[in-house]
Amino acid sequence: MGYSGTLLLILAVAVVAPLLAYGLGRWVRVPLVIFEIGLGIVVGPDLLGLAHDDPAIDTLSDLGLTMLIFLAGYEIEFAAVRGDTLRRAVWAWLLALAAGLGVAFAVNGGDTAKSFVIGTALTSTALGTILPILRDTGELKGRFGTVVLAFGAVGEFGPIIAMALLLGGRSPGVSTALLAAFAAVTACAVYWAMRPRPPWFARIVARTLHTSGQFAVRFVMLLLGAMLALSAVFGLDTLLGAFAAGLLTRLVLTGAVPESSAEILGKVEAMGFGFLVPVFFVVTGIGFDLRSLLDGGRELILLALFLLLFLLVRGVPVYLLAPRDLPRRDRTALTLYSSTALPLVVAITTIGLDDGTVTAGEAAALVGAAMVSVLVFPLLASRHRRVSGAPAEGTATATEAW
């Protein structure tokens, strides 16, 4: 199947995936990304053999990964999670990173490059998967939701920084210096973003918001491109630039055009979640080494091990450093939510595969464990809190929300 046929098949899978998620949602909530990767596996070379790797498709997939990280940066609102809770979240992630690197070194016999990939992947949190669940249950604005947001935000921001430091192929000292220089320039950009925009900016945004001009959307894309170029200039992974662009975009839009920021974000999300991001996840499924897992050998054992490590490496520090005012059941639920991983695991293993530091089977085991975590951990967490009666009065249950 040529490029056009493969692209058509990927787009068809992207349409079928939300239909399946919606249909099953009446009985059990399954994150959309599971269907996107799962259907990619089905049409990929290990099952039906209808779709294969293609350079043009891979380029679209890379754009999808960039947009995914950009939107992850946008959804983090550090102003809502400052103070002691944020400090606890940072320390919990640092402990997880130390534990993850230590375990990875032990498992891999001291292979530094592979240990950096695996150790970093074990510390991530799928905040984008968790937030819709908390919104549906009405808990996002409460105390528990704020704590989950803090730990989840650091679980996304931390691995992005670790990727820049550990996965760039340079010494940690050089990477730290380059990252510091990038941070200094980004800080200047943040200062610029927080300054009041001239009156004409809001006027042209309003006038072109529903025309072919789309000034605001084009401005956001320019900001994204500028941060990607900046990260490339400093020799850092472009995902760091995408993440920084998301943070800057939130500051610019909420400061300059607060009344239109949600609508502008909706247009950007339409490009991301409507086209590019699904392509990334479907292509991830197409490249998934299912054959290694089905052989029942080392990779299947690794999948079970990685799933356990998500709980131990990421979850235990979260449980130990959770705010003291959270009851035990909430701390357990927070641990399960924080141990849920997938998007960044896919991104990190993609880098590891491109660099040749992990094998296709090892990447499949990591991604497979992350897929199981997305399926199981949030479900256990939400049920755990419902059993404890934790949700506030008047909130909807997950079933009612669907």
pLDDT at residue 99 greater than cutoff 90? yes
Judge whether residue 248 has pLDDT over 50. Answer: yes
Per-residue pLDDT, 8: 92
Distances (CA, A) of 95 to 114, 115, 176: 19, 16, 19
Answer left, alpha or beta for residue 181, where phi above 0 means left and psi between -120 and 50 means alpha.
alpha
Dig out the tokens for 207 from the structure: 């006038």
Highest mean pLDDT among 104-113, 269-278, 384-393: 269-278
167 or 6: whose pLDDT is higher? 6
Give domain limits for the chain: 3-401
| SS3 category, 49 | coil
Locate 56 and state its tokens: 């043009």
Span 256-282, average pLDDT: 90
Q: Would you give the distance in Å from CA 324 to the centre of its chain? A: 28
**pLDDT of amino acid 142:** 78
Tell me the C-alpha distance between 318 and 332, whole Å: 9
Please report, for residues 96, 373, 377, the alpha-carbon distance to residue 340 in angstroms, rounded to integers and kept in the order given.
Answer: 14, 5, 6
Residues of the chain with pLDDT > 70: what percent?
Answer: 91
Angstrom distance (rounded) from CA 100 to CA 105: 9
Q: What angle do CA 261, 267, 269 make, to 5 degrees?
A: 100
pLDDT at 399: 32
Per-residue confidence (pLDDT) for residue 88, from 0 to 100: 93
Q: For 195-207, what is the mean pLDDT?
A: 86
Q: Per-residue pLDDT averaged across 128-140, rounded?
A: 71
Which range has the top average pLDDT, 138-147, 150-159, 285-294, 308-317?
308-317
- Cα–Cα distance list, 358 to 24, 116, 369 (Å): 34, 10, 15
pLDDT at 398: 33
In this predicted structure, the answer to whether residue 378 has a pLDDT above a threshold of 70 is: yes
Between CA 336 and CA 49 the distance in angstroms is 36
- How confident is the model at residue 1, as a pLDDT? 60
| Tokens of residue 41, six digits | 């596996």
Instruction: Give me the residue label for tokens 């000292």.
Output: 173
What pTM was computed for the model?
A: 0.80
| pLDDT confidence of residue 381 | 87
Taking residues 327-343, report their average pLDDT. Answer: 91
Tokens 């200094």 correspond to: 184
| R_g over Cα of the chain | 21
Q: Is residue 78 very low, low, confident or very high in pLDDT (cuts 50, 70, 90)?
A: low
CATH level 3 topology of 3-401: Na+/H+ antiporter like fold (1.20.1530)
CA distances from 149 to 116, 146, 171 (A): 26, 5, 32
